[in-house]
Copies of this chain bind each other. A is one copy, B any other.
Amino acid sequence: MNGAQALIRTLVDHGVDTCFMNPGTSEMHFVAALDDVTAMHGVLALFEGVATGAADGYARMAGQPAATLLHLGPGLGNGLANLHNARRAHSPVVNVVGDHAITHRPYDAQLQSDIETVARNVSTFVRTSGSTAELAGDAVAALAAAVGPPGSVATLILPADVSWSEGGVPIRGPRTAGATAILGGRAPDEAVLGAAAAALRSGQRAAIMIGGRACSGQALDTVADIAAATGAKLLAETFPARLERGAGRPPVDRLAYLAEFAAMQLEGISHLVLVDAKSPVSFFAYPGKPSDLVPDGCAVHLVAGPGDDAHAAVAALAALLEVNEGTAPRQAAGTPEAPTGALTSQSVCQALGALLPDDAIVSDEGNTSGLFAAGATAGAPPHDWLTLTGGAIGQGLPVAVGAAVGAPGRRVVALEADGSALYTLQAWWTMAREGLDVTTVLLNNHSYAVLNMELDRVGVETPGPRAREMLDLGRPSIDFVHLATGLGLHAARAETAEEFTDEFARALATPGPSVVEAIVPALL
C-alpha cells in the first residue's frame, strides 16, 4: 500500500470521507488512490479557493471536517483567503497540500516555495510528512488539531514521494473522530460564571453576545432562556459561522457591521456576557473612531471563548441563575408578501423571506444588497444562516458548495453580490458537476457598493472620478446569466420584482443548481 492509499484509508476510517480538491502532478497518487478507497468522495474544484471555502461550508453544516487537496505553495495561496474565513469560523479542515518529492527539493524546481510559512497564516497545525510509514500518523495528528476544540485549519504537507512510496500503514480510528469539533472543550471557569450570573441578576442593563457553538442547538435555546429570565439583550456576533434562526427559534439580532450601529445596539450596557464570542471590535478602523465597541465602563464577562465548552458554560450559567427551560420567546412564523414593482435589493430580500423553504441553508455574501435579508426572513421556516466569518470576500459560493455536500437534501440559497461572486465564480461549475441543490441569488448592482460607503466612512469627503472608477463594475457591464450558462448552470435574469419572484420560485422548485441574477440599484 502506498502512502496516498494509507492516508485516504486513515482519513475515511476517522470519518473524513469528503475531499475538495484541485490537484496537480505532485498529487496524482492521491487522485489515483480514490479508486482504491472508494469511500472517499473527491469533489473537483476549478480553483483552490472553491475547495477551501467548500471545506469550510461542509464543516459548518456536517459538524466535522472535510479534507482539501491543493497543489504546492501557489495552490495554497489560491486557497488562503477561504482558509482565513475557515479559521475565523473555527471550522475544522484537514488541509492537505502536495509538495515536490523530498528528493527533488534540493533542486529548487520552478514550483518550489516555502509552503510552511504560508500555511502558518491560517493554520494551528503545520506538518510536512517526512516518511510514508509515518504519514497516517501525521494525518491523525492533523485531524486531532483540526477538530480542536476549537476547530481549526490543520495543514498537512504531503511530499510526492511520501505519497507514492510503498510502506503506508493506515491507522484505524472511530468514524466519529472528526465529529468532536462541535463538542467538548475546556470546562467553564466558576469564578467567571459566578460574576456573570451576579451581573445578570444585578438589575443593571446587560447584553449576552453569542457566537460559534452558542448559535445553534441546545446552547442557543438555553442562552435565550437566560436572556429572557434576566432581561438581558441577546445578540449574536456580527459574522457567526452558523446561526439557527426562523420561526419557532429564539430571535437573535446580530451585532451590526457598521460600528456606528453596533454602538447603538450596545449603548447603555453595563455588562456584556460573551459566549463563544469575541469582545466586539470595529470591523475596520476609521480615523478618529474607536476600535473597541464595548461602551465605557461596561464589564465584559467571557464565560466561554473559542476552545471552551460553550454548551457546558451555558448550562452551568442557567443552573446558577435557576432559569427555567423553554421560557424564552420564540419567533412567530410570518413571511412577507411576494414583492411587486421595481426590483431593489429590498424587494429581493422580501421575495427571499416569502419563499425560503423549510430547513434551508442561506450562505450570505449579499453585502450591502443583503442588508434587508435578516429582517425579511426572521419569521421564515427554520433555517441556518452562514456568514462571512473572516471578511475575505469570495466565500459565499464556495461555502454554499460545501454546505450542500455536507447537508444533502436541504436547499441552499447563496445570497451573493456581483463584486464578491467574481472572486470564486468557479464554484458554480462544481455545483453543476455535483448536481447540488444550490440556488444562487446574484444581486448585481454593478459596483463595489460597500466601498463607496467605506470611502465616505474613512473620511474621503469628495472622492474624485478616478477613485469612483476603481469601485465601478459597470464598465463593461457584467452579465451573470452568461457567466452561469458558461459554467453549465441554468440561469435567468430578473429586472422586476415579479420576474424575480417567479424565477426564484422556479429555481427553488427545481432539483440541482441554478442562478437568478437580480438587477438592482446600488443601495449606497
In the complex with contacts A117-B118, A160-B285, A464-B34 CB distance below 8 A: yes
Q: Report the Cα distance A161→B433, complex, angstroms.
A: 45
Chain A 438-466 against B: per-residue CB contact (8 Å), 1 yes, 0 no? 00000000000011001101111001111
Interface centre among A29, A46, A108, A429 (most CB of B within 10 A): A46
Could you list some 13 contacts between A and B, CB below 8 A?
A23-B470, A31-B451, A31-B463, A35-B466, A38-B466, A42-B466, A75-B81, A104-B285, A108-B278, A109-B281, A164-B458, A422-B426, A476-B488
6 nearest CB pairs, A to B: A35-B464, A77-B80, A476-B488, A482-B486, A74-B392, A104-B285
Contacts from A to B (Cβ < 8 Å): 21, 23-26, 28-29, 31-32, 34-36, 38, 42, 44, 46-47, 49, 72-81, 83-85, 87-88, 100-101, 103-104, 106-111, 113-115, 117-118, 120-122, 160-161, 164, 238-239, 278, 281-285, 287, 291-292, 389-392, 394, 419, 422-423, 425-426, 429, 432-433, 450-451, 454-455, 457-460, 463-467, 469-471, 473, 475-483, 485-488
Are B108 and A454 within 8 A (Cβ)? no
Q: How far is the CB of A281 from chain B (nearest CB, A)?
A: 4
Which chain B residues lie closer than 8 Å to A458 at the CB level?
25, 28-29, 160, 164
Which chain B residues lie closer than 8 Å to A81 at the CB level?
74-75, 77-78
Q: Report the Cα distance A239→B111, complex, angstroms.
A: 12
Q: Which of B47, B111, B391, B466 is close to A422, meaning CB atoms less than 8 Å apart?
A: B47
Q: Report the Cα distance A80→B73, complex, angstroms.
A: 9
Q: Report the Cα distance A480→B483, complex, angstroms.
A: 9
Q: Report the Cα distance A396→B418, complex, angstroms.
A: 24
* Chain B minimum-CB-distance residue to A47: B423
Q: How far is the CB of A31 from chain B (nearest CB, A)?
A: 5
* Chain B minimum-CB-distance residue to A456: B28
Are A467 and B118 within 8 A (Cβ)? no
Which chain B residues lie closer than 8 Å to A24 at the CB level?
451, 454
Which chain B residues lie closer than 8 Å to A451 at the CB level?
23-25, 28, 31
Are B292 and A107 within 8 A (Cβ)? yes
Q: Which of B77, B120, B454 is close to A25, meaning CB atoms less than 8 Å apart?
A: B454
Are B460 and A32 within 8 A (Cβ)? yes
Q: Report the Cα distance A23→B455, complex, angstroms.
A: 11
Q: Report the Cα distance A197→B451, complex, angstroms.
A: 60
Which chain B residues lie closer than 8 Å to A282 at the CB level?
104, 107, 109
Are B466 and A46 within 8 A (Cβ)? no
Which chain B residues lie closer than 8 Å to A463 at the CB level?
31-32, 35
Q: How far is the CB of A285 from chain B (nearest CB, A)?
A: 4
Are B239 and A29 within 8 A (Cβ)? no
Q: Report the Cα distance A284→B100, complex, angstroms.
A: 7
Which chain B residues lie closer than 8 Å to A101 at the CB level?
285, 291
Q: How far is the CB of A45 from chain B (nearest CB, A)?
A: 10
Which chain B residues lie closer than 8 Å to A482 at the CB level?
482-483, 485-486
Q: Which of B46, B114, B391, B466 is close to A120, meaning CB atoms less than 8 Å apart?
A: B114
Are B480 and A486 within 8 A (Cβ)? yes
Q: Report the Cα distance A455→B34, complex, angstroms.
A: 13
* Chain B minimum-CB-distance residue to A109: B281
